[in-house]
Homo-oligomer: A and B are copies of this chain.
Amino acid sequence: MSKQVIVLNGGSSAGKSGIVRCLQAILPDPWLAVGVDRLIEAMPATMRSPESIDFAADGTVIVGPEFDRLQEAWMAGVAATVGAGAHVIVDDVFLGGAGSQQRWRAVLDGLDVLWVGVRCAAEVAAGREIARGDRVRGMAVAQADSVHQGVVYDVEVDTTHTESIVCARTIAARL
Contacts and interface: CB of A to CB of B under 8 A. Distances in A.
Copies in the complex: 4
Nearest to A26: B130
Contacts of A127: 22, 163-166
Contact of A44 (B19, B24, B44): B24
Interface string A37-53: 01100111111000010
Interface in A1-55: 18-19, 21-22, 24-27, 30-34, 38-39, 42-47, 52
A106 interface: no
B25 A33 contact: no
A173 interface: no
Interface class of chain A by DSSP: helix
Interface residues of A, number: 52
B47 A43 contact: no
Contact of A130 (B25, B43, B47, B76): B25
Contact of A66 (B21, B26, B30, B164): B30
A44 to B, nearest CB: 4
